[in-house]
Amino acid sequence: MTGNMSEKAALRRQLLAVRALLTSDDVQKAAAVLADAALNLPELRRARTVAAYVSMGSEPGTRALLDALHARGVRVLLPVLLEDNDLDWAAYEGTERLVRARRGLLEPAGPRLGVDAVLAAETVLLPGLAVDARGMRLGRGGGSYDRVLARVVRSGLDPALVVLLYANEVVARVPEEPHDHPVHAVVTPEVTLRFRA
């Protein structure tokens, strides 16, 4: 394990330990504030297609945001985890059309759109554990979103990359590796930070 990989692993453990202390009430309250803040982002107000994800456990909540985007008529794409940890995509059609999948994830029941479907999104909401002042994101370490971001970069497209976090997860520095890509904005219940003009 390289130095940056072990630093990432240590930071992940630390952040996940703090998340484990959150009550369901803490998570629900933060989710409502995050949804309001995210819905006011110009990147989401003008988007016709948004790639997002269904939050699980103590992750910053996305369900209210997904429903609000869907109600606005935004096409919301959600990931479907493939056997090789890459992500296929399917359209969000409401909470009642989500099904339990591998690793306890919730995924859309509808047709799969292919790994390149994410390229239609003007905004991509990324899960994460931390973002630093440069916009470098720390994910969970599975590599699924590294593949998504590499696909987006190769395409030459420039969707807004946004991460929803708790305030303590905006950190001084995230260890980075050559395959890591910075995000454009982070939204916490307290503040929205941008990393590009």
| Tokens encoding 4 | 């940056």
DSSP state of 111: -
Domain chopping of the chain, boundaries? 3-194
Whether 6 has a pLDDT exceeding 90, the answer reads no
- Mean pLDDT over residues 65-89, rounded? 96
pLDDT at 65 over 70: yes
Angstrom distances, CA of residue 40 to CA of 32, 36, 46: 13, 7, 10
Binding positions are: 8-12, 54, 59, 137-145
The sheet carrying 170-171 orders its strands as: 137-138, 130-132, 170-171
Average pLDDT over residues 37-59: 94
Q: Give the pLDDT confidence score for residue 197 in this predicted structure.
A: 44
Structure confidence at residue 110 (pLDDT): 93
pTM of the model: 0.93
Tens of pLDDT along 135-157? 999 998 888 999 999 999 999 89
Phi, psi dihedral angles at 46 (to 5 degrees): -95, -5
Q: Which residues are annotated as a binding site for substrate?
A: 54, 59
Looking up tokens 């969707």 gives 159
Please give the mean pLDDT across all residues of the chain: 92
pLDDT of residue 53: 96
Q: Are 81 and 144 in contact (CB under 8 A)?
A: yes
Q: What is the H or E stretch that residue 100 is in?
A: strand 98-100
Residue 104 reports pLDDT greater than 50: yes
Q: Residues marked as binding for ATP?
A: 8-12, 137-145
The string of DSSP letters for 115-180 reads GGGGGG-SEEEE--SEEETT-BEE--SSSHHHHHHHHHHHHT---EEEEE--GGGEES-----TT-
Q: Which pLDDT does position 4 carry in this prediction?
A: 66
Percent of the chain with pLDDT over 70: 96
The residue type found at 41 is L
Q: pLDDT-based confidence at 93, cuts 50/70/90?
A: very high
CATH topology of domain 3-194: Rossmann fold (3.40.50)
